[in-house]
Structure 1
Amino acid sequence: MEMLSQLTSDDYKVILFGIIVILVYFLLLRYKRHLWENRRKARCDYYRNVYLKSDEWKRKRYVVLKRDNWKCVYCGNRATQVHHTRYAKYNIGKEPIDWLESVCKSCHDDLH
């Protein structure tokens, strides 16, 4: 208690400034996270709703299924889907054919 009574008004200003700095820092972190989430959601929406319905994807999908002889690379059953082994995060649609593999629905569900 005695220590608190020895604090000057300048000490209180320094403490208050420190608290404000910490609060602003956490607000900026939260805002940055919010922006990142919005960009990620926009990429996912574009990928699902535009790219996977495009003629470009349909051609690439056909090439991969034909390359793998329409067989699942995991179980050997008839492949009906194409799985990305990696994603081109900022280059949607520019993934190389090597990053794609033919899979059946059950194996694809297991992979996800």
Structure 2
Amino acid sequence: MAKSKSLEACPVYKTAMILDGKWTILIFRDLLANKVVRFNELRRSLGSISPKTLTERLTELEDQGLVSRKVYAEVPPRVEYSLTEKGKGLSAVFDSMAKFGDKWLR
């Protein structure tokens, strides 16, 4: 079944598609809280996420222009992730989610 034209034009739908995926919201949570995060810091924070899944999610977010990846020429290699301006634009969504959770889910 094809998506309807009105669904494709819906900004709520488009934003939900960005946040779709098992770990995406928690990756955003950590990047919003910590500004710059290394790969292994994200892994530890997220608990049971596999390195492959984390790499896939970060790559998807980078491809969408939401996450920036910076590689340092060091041994061992150091890679840091941060939100782009576009990614930071989602902070209000997460603020609202936190307020909802504090009020209704405690």
Q: Same fold (TM over 0.5)?
A: no
Q: Which has the larger radius of gyration?
A: 1
TM-score interval w.r.t. the shorter chain?
A: under 0.3
Q: Tell me which protein shows more strand as a share of its residues.
A: 2
Question: Structure 1 length normalisation: TM-score?
Answer: 0.25
Which structure has the higher relative contact order (CA within 8 Å, separation 6+)? 2
